[in-house]
């Protein structure tokens, strides 16, 4: 048996196309152009690449892209003032402050200052609470939302109900929201982590295994139940034997392919879904702010 490869790159391209169609309809029917503001503090190379990709894909989807680059020595008060200005700007429907922030800025304070209805990253405590309680209006963090869309596509309508799901990792960005989303799909959910006793045995019970620990190739093939669906959220850069580096996930993909029923590759799996879901969230936020029905995306 060789696992099906879940092509996140292709799915994300389709999602961006649907987002573009929704944006065109909003412009045509309501005179609305969704706007996404991204704030970058400092010169972190990885963040710069990510912000550039976000801006490019935002414009390609027909949306307005607002980009603000602040020097690394920016103080917290200046950044908070920028966030408050964006909260008040009616052309901006989504706000994203790129993490990590420099040491002199408290990221929690900044995230708390973003209007929850414009918090397209889904990190504000109000959105966390909405998701946890199943309340309407939650904006969901982009990476776990992308994982869920891939799983829904794999299993079909109602196909996740009753499945045993194990999420390895308990971060606020992926692990915890992923568990909440799977609970809402009526999965039986276990959240495992570095302190879990006999972690391989816990993983082997999973019909759906989501690896989000940030440790290269930690999940081995014998941790995987035969036929399970594996979602690998990890993006780790490791050295190659002949020099240079390569990207790997949190799962030993090559070995896992012989056991799993389906698996996301790294790169090309979950990664492309993150920005596509950011665009989707921005359209959703725009519709809610203007009382317009949300399009199916």
Q: Which residues are designated catalytic?
A: 54, 98, 121
Q: What angle do CA 253, 255, 259 make, to 5 degrees?
A: 100
Contacts of 47 (CB under 8 A, 6+ apart): 40, 98, 99, 100
> Strands 64-70 and 35-41, how do they pair?
parallel
H or E, element range at 168: strand 164-168
Place of tokens 């203007």: 290
d(CA 230, CA 165): 10
Residue 55 CB-density burial (10 A; 0-12 exposed, 13-18 middle, 19+ buried): middle
Q: Compute the half-sphere exposure of residue 297: CA atoms within 13 Å on the CB side of its CA.
A: 29
How far CA 141 is from CA of 9, 112, 131, 188, in Å, comes to 19, 15, 10, 21
Whether the Cβ atoms of residue 245 and residue 237 lie closer than 8 Å to each other: yes
Tell which residue, 39, 46, 180, has the closest CA to residue 111: 39
């Amino acid at each position: 048996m060789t696992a099906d490869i879940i092509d996140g790159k292709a799915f994300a391209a389709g999602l961006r196309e649907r987002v573009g169609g929704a944006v065109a309809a909003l412009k045509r029917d309501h005179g609305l152009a969704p706007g996404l503001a991204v704030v970058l503090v400092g010169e972190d190379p990885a963040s710069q690449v990510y912000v550039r990709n976000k801006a490019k894909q935002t414009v390609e989807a027909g949306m307005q892209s607002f980009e603000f680059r602040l020097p690394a020595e920016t103080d917290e008060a200046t950044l908070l003032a920028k966030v408050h200005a964006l909260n008040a700007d009616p052309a901006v429907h989504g706000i994203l402050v790129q993490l990590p922030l420099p040491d002199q800025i408290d990221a929690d304070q900044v995230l708390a200052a973003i209007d929850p209805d414009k918090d397209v990253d889904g990190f504000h405590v109000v959105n966390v609470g909405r998701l946890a309680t199943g309340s309407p209006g939650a904006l969901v963090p982009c990476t776990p939302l992308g994982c869920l869309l891939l799983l829904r596509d794999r299993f079909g309508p109602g196909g996740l109900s009753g499945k045993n799901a194990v999420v390895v990792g308990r971060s606020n960005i992926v692990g915890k929201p992923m568990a909440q989303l799977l609970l809402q799909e009526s999965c039986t959910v276990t959240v495992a982590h570095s302190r879990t006793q006999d972690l391989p045995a816990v993983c082997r019970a999973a019909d759906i295994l989501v690896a989000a620990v940030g440790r290269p190739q930690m999940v081995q093939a014998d941790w995987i139940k035969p036929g399970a669906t594996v979602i690998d959220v990890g993006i780790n850069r490791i050295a190659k034997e002949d020099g240079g580096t390569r990207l790997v996930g949190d799962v030993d993909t090559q070995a896992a392919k012989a056991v799993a029923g389906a698996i996301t590759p790294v790169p090309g799996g979950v990664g492309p879904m993150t920005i596509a879901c950011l665009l989707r969230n921005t359209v959703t936020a725009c519709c809610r702010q203007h009382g317009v029905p949300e399009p199916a995306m």
